[in-house]
Amino acid sequence: MSDTDMIDAVLDRHHHDGTRLMQILRETQEQLGWLSPATLTHIAKAIAWPRAQVEGTADFYSFFHTRPLGRYRVLWSDNITDRMLGNTDLLEAMCKKLWLEPGRVSEDGLVSVDVTSCTGMCDQGPAVLVNCRAITRMTPARVGEMVGLIRSETPLAEWPAEWFAVDDNIRRKDILLAHDLVPGQALAAALERGAEKMLAEIKAARLRGRGGAGFATGLKWEACRSAAGHGAGAAHYVVCNADEGEPGTFKDRVLLTSYAGLVFEGMSIAGLVVGAKKGLLYLRGEYRYLLEPLESALAVRRDAKLLGKNILGTDFEFDIEIHLGAGAYICGEESALIESLEGKPGRPRIRPPFPVTHGYLDQPTTVNNVETLAASCLIAAHGSDWYAQHGTEKSTGSKILSVSGDCERPGIYEYPYGVAVRQVLEDCGASDCQAVQISGPSGMCAAEAEFDRKIAFEDIPTAGAFMVFDETRDMFEVARNFAHFFAHESCGFCTPCRVGTTLVRNLMDKIARNHGSPYDIDELFKLHRLMQGASHCGLGNTACNPIFDTLNKFRPAYEHRLMSLDYEPAFDLDAALSQARQMTGRDDAAAHLKNGAEA
């Protein structure tokens, strides 16, 4: 098949529908390796979109390549937990063996090696993605073997299967992970109750969103349900947010691996309540390997009459489609996610209007986290009274934590809400703990004095990440890793975050190079104050949290590195003469400069 025939087949499969551009681009790239200018022109024509818009989508996402990046594209997950497991040395070793600089393509067009944001394998890192396929537990030996396989151009399908093994590592189960529901049981109970009573149960159970913001699920569903659809395509939609981009979070991956039925059933219940016939699951590109198993799970449910028309013999109709993301943390933000579902760059919308009235295709849409939807099954099956007995008054039910970092047993821990940080640390075998980053970089950094605080909406709310740092860790480096993360993931839409995240990153790098002064610390505080109030969305608003927290709780980690009390340049003055020295061959005293006060 020629390239254009191939692209046309993809386009046909998606009915030349521009709102499906993400899937069209991904499937095209999976076959052609990259998206050439001619490919983009061809696709733009076929979907009748302005070419610039197609290009705008293509170059927004990290995993779409608008220039060739090699037949093997190796991306090292660069979360702080991967760092702690030694990914930097491994990446360097790999580049050395391949005679490559990170980010560059080898001259023969064979391979490129670079870093990417957390791939959600923190409990089994260091992790990589090769051509968007997840590989866990990298070791020096694996690096050597992998380089051999790349050099011999061995297809990925023939690489050792155990490299692609992703473990659940479930360490503690509570009401959700230990559920005893059979497929269809929760949905049948919901159908029996009917939409309105089901909504009442969700409200009575006081279920709140597990994706981070903690919004009351019942209110969200109610708002969506009572919003009218608009125009010719009037409809309601359920969207399951499986973008799971917050570094250190991997519980949705486990739910989708071993509890997918429960998640789909939760989506169906949501569909019943809000009056939707269609659900969309937005799966982060890093979890590409889950696509086929999830598709099969959907097929099984369709066969069992749990999806499709006349579900369980009623007139309820609902089906689910899976959309893959392509490497953009911002697409976890619900309105950016919807933009992405519509084939556009993941740019958060202006709100109001909110998705519950104007969401996917401008129709009323409820966006819920994977875990929220799964939890709704428990409420459907066991009722709100039973559910609300678990957890605390303000935080009913349970929370799944993704534990990683310095502990003996990283993995998945489910607790009733209200569990103390110290308890989790004890259970996972974390001794000499210095700090825990809870809910990821955008969350909070808890120091020893706060270990008796509780995981709950009323105390420490969390989307699930729980990264442990022992006494040997440098909390400045932790914060610097997060600063790099936000600078890489800022969508670039609004000024304070687009420029601010890079300024913060640069200041942190300046301090790391021992060029900092108290002036730079004041600058960090100033940027925090600006970005927190003026940014367009949650990313920019929270991007300075890890800096602010560590500056308050671990200030000496910064101060050790300051060069002087005076203002210092960010760059090395002597290195700034390097090119002239090289060209003139000079090395006399006047051919050098020193940072710091001059004698």
Partner 1 sequence: MNNTFQLDGEEIPFTPGQTIMQAATAHGSYIPHLCWHPDFSVHGSCKLCTVKVNGRFGSSCTMEAQPGMEVENRTAELDDKRRTLLQMLFVEGNHFCPSCEKSGDCKLQATAYELKMMSPHFDMFYPDRPVDASHPDILLDFNRCIMCGLCVAASREADGKNIFAMGGRGLLGRRVHVSSESGKLADTDFAATDRAASICPVGVILSKRRGFVVPIGRRTYDLAPISAQVTEKAP
Partner 2 sequence: MNAPMSPPKKLRVATTSLAGCFGCHMSFLDIDERILKLLELIEFDRSPLTDIKHCGPCDLGIIEGGLCNAENVHVLREFRRNCKIILALGACAINGGLPAQRNHLDLRDVLEEVYQTEHLLGRGGIPNDPELPLPLNKVHPIHEVVKVDYFLPGCPPSADAIWKLLTDLLAGRTPTLGHGLLHYD
Ligand X SMILES: Cc1cc2nc3c(=O)[nH]c(=O)nc-3n(C[C@H](O)[C@H](O)[C@H](O)COP(=O)(O)O)c2cc1C
Q: Could you list the residues that contact ligand X (CB under 6 A)?
A: 209-213, 215, 217, 241, 243-246, 330, 332-334, 367-369, 372, 537-539
Residues 480-519 that bind partner 2 (CB under 8 A): 519
Q: Could you say whether residue 599 binds partner 2 (CB under 8 A)?
A: no
Select the binding partner of residue 55 from ligand X, partner 2, ligand SF4, none (C-beta < 5 to 8 A, by kind). Answer: none
Residue 18 Cβ vs partner 2, minimum distance, rounded to whole Å: 37
- Residue 414 phi/psi, 5-degree rounding, is -105, 130
Residues 471-490 that bind ligand SF4 (CB under 6 A): 490
| Helices and strands of the chain, counted as H and E runs | 23, 14
Q: Could you say whether residue 40 binds partner 1 (CB under 8 A)?
A: yes
Find out whether the peptide bond into 355 is cis, omega within 30 degrees of 0.
no
In 10 A of CB 577, how many CB atoms? Answer: 16
Residues 47-106 that bind partner 1 (CB under 8 A): 50-53, 55-62
Select the binding partner of residue 178 from partner 2, ligand X, partner 1, none (C-beta < 5 to 8 A, by kind). Answer: none
Query: Which CB, 166 or 537, lies closer to partner 1?
Result: 537
Query: Which CB, 209 or 343, lies closer to ligand X?
Result: 209
* Binding region for partner 2 (CB under 8 A) out of 78-86, 148-156, 167-175, 579-587: 579-587
Select the binding partner of residue 498 from ligand X, ligand SF4, partner 2, none (C-beta < 5 to 8 A, by kind). Answer: ligand SF4
Query: Which CB, 329 or 457, lies closer to ligand SF4?
Result: 329
Residues 310-369 that bind ligand SF4 (CB under 6 A): 330, 348
Select the binding partner of residue 538 from ligand X, partner 2, partner 1, none (C-beta < 5 to 8 A, by kind). Answer: ligand X
Residues 536-555 that bind partner 1 (CB under 8 A): 536
User: Between the CA atoms of 122, 125, 126 and 132, what dihedral angle is there, to the nearest 10 degrees?
Assistant: -80
Query: Which CB, 334 or 568, lies closer to ligand X?
Result: 334
The answer to whether the Cα torsion of 88, 90, 95, 97 is positive or negative is positive
Residue 141 makes CB contacts below 8 A (sequence gap 6+) with none
Select the binding partner of residue 526 from partner 2, ligand X, partner 1, none (C-beta < 5 to 8 A, by kind). Answer: partner 1
Residues 514-543 that bind partner 2 (CB under 8 A): 519
The amino acid at 566: D
Residue 599 Cβ vs partner 2, minimum distance, rounded to whole Å: 11
How many residues interact with ligand SF4 (rule CB under 6 A)?
14
- Residue 404 phi/psi, 5-degree rounding, is -150, 175
User: In this chain, which of 98, 491, 504, 557 binds ligand SF4, going by CB under 6 A?
Assistant: 491
Contact between residue 95 and residue 113 where contact means Cβ atoms under 8 Å apart: yes
Contact between residue 417 and residue 397 where contact means Cβ atoms under 8 Å apart: yes
Query: Which CB, 458 or 566, lies closer to partner 2?
Result: 566
Q: Could you say whether residue 449 binds partner 1 (CB under 8 A)?
A: no
Q: Could you say whether residue 573 binds partner 1 (CB under 8 A)?
A: no
Select the binding partner of residue 9 from ligand SF4, partner 1, ligand X, none (C-beta < 5 to 8 A, by kind). Answer: none
User: In this chain, which of 142, 193, 536, 553 binds ligand SF4, going by CB under 6 A?
Assistant: 536
Query: Which CB, 328 or 511, lies closer to ligand X?
Result: 328
E-strand spans in 217-314?
237-242, 278-283
Residue 542 Cβ vs ligand X, minimum distance, rounded to whole Å: 7
Distances from the Cα of 591 to the Cα of 388, 572, 579, angstroms: 73, 14, 11
Select the binding partner of residue 493 from partner 2, ligand SF4, ligand X, none (C-beta < 5 to 8 A, by kind). Answer: ligand SF4
Binding mask 309-328 for partner 1 (x = CB under 8 A): -------------------x
Residue 521 Cβ vs partner 2, minimum distance, rounded to whole Å: 15
Residue 403 makes CB contacts below 8 A (sequence gap 6+) with 123, 171, 409, 410, 411, 412, 413, 424, 428, 466, 468
Residue 518 Cβ vs partner 1, minimum distance, rounded to whole Å: 17
DSSP letter (8 states) at residue 403: E
Residue 368 Cβ vs ligand SF4, minimum distance, rounded to whole Å: 21
E-strand spans in 110-236?
111-116, 128-130, 133-135, 170-172
Burial class (CB in 10 A: 0-12, 13-18, 19+), 452: exposed
Distances from the Cα of 546 to the Cα of 436, 446, 549, angstroms: 11, 10, 5
C-alpha–C-alpha distance, residues 172 and 80, integer Å: 24
C-alpha–C-alpha distance, residues 586 and 279, integer Å: 68
Q: Could you say whether residue 593 binds partner 2 (CB under 8 A)?
A: yes
Burial profile 464-493: b = 16 or more Cβ within 10 angstroms, e = fewer: bbbbbbeeebebbbbbbbbbbbbbbbbbeb
Select the binding partner of residue 578 from partner 2, ligand SF4, ligand X, none (C-beta < 5 to 8 A, by kind). Answer: partner 2
Query: Which CB, 144 or 596, lies closer to partner 2?
Result: 596
| Both structure tokens of 62 | 């990290």
Q: Could you say whether residue 580 binds partner 2 (CB under 8 A)?
A: yes
E-strand spans in 325-432?
365-369, 398-405, 411-416
C-alpha–C-alpha distance, residues 590 and 233, integer Å: 74
Closest residue by Cα to residue 293 from 401, 77, 134: 134
Residue 594 makes CB contacts below 8 A (sequence gap 6+) with 573, 574
Residues found near partner 2 in the complex (CB under 8 A):
519, 566-567, 569-571, 573, 575-586, 588, 590-591, 593, 598
Residues found near ligand SF4 in the complex (CB under 6 A):
330, 348, 490-494, 497-498, 535-537, 539-540
Residues found near partner 1 in the complex (CB under 8 A):
37-38, 40-41, 50-53, 55-62, 328, 345, 350, 487-496, 498-503, 506, 526, 530, 533-536, 570
